[in-house]
Amino acid sequence: MEVKIEKSWKKQLQQEFDKPYFEQLVSFVKSEYAQAHVLPAGSQIFHVFNLCPFDKVRVVILGQDPYPTPGQYYGICFSVPEGIAIPASLSNMFREIHQDLGKPMPTSGQLERWVEQGVFPINSVLTVRAYQSGSHRGRGWETFTDAVIKALSDEREHVVFMLWGAYAKEKAGLIDSNKHLVLTAAHPSPRSADRGFFGCRHFSKANEYLRNHGLDEIDW
């Protein structure tokens, strides 16, 4: 199947695009866009892939579902467009960065500045019906994004994987911890941030790991 996606990702993932499950997934997603309000815009489904080529990925932040509120999600996990109020989980991430590294609290929740440095925030599911969180789970996106994680694990070295919350931690088995850094903590959601996300210091730990392997740190 022909999929419009950045060329290095296309090379890595073409075998997924050619599998029957992906064809079924595409049919489902197209039917959803035709009959419902689905997020993000179709052209933005692979937005983070297009901004961050395969060989540039240095830190993976794994989420689960896109924000279901129109105007928030545009293809980068946790990120929101300029001028949109910063969601609670992202605000807690900024708070942890402030406590960990002393960085000022941002006024924008747009994370392109991270992605341009090789941070790859990706949801396990890449589309959702408006106002219906989790509505596109179990349709094939998880199989696809698991393949993305495994490709990064298999083909790259010294990538930092941040797995927050029980769902993300289940993905640890896809990652070779002998050649990558796997960081786990509670999810930054207000429901769980006080139970192990605050104080996890993942952002300084990521930079220390990158530095120790001769790689540039992330300006969080």
Q: Which residue among 55, 65, 194, 219 is the active-site one?
A: 65
| Alpha-carbon distances of 149 from 27, 154, 156, 205, 220, rounded to whole Å | 23, 9, 10, 20, 22
**Residue 126 in tokens:** 């890449």
Query: Would you call 65 a catalytic residue per the annotation?
Result: yes
> Phi, psi at residue 121, to the nearest 5°?
-85, 115
Q: Which residue has tokens 């807690």? A: 92
Comparing CA positions, the residue from 161, 138, 146 lying closest to residue 57 is: 161
| 159 DSSP 8-state letter | -
What is the Cα–Cα distance from 127 to 145, expressed in whole angstroms? 12
Active-site positions read: 65
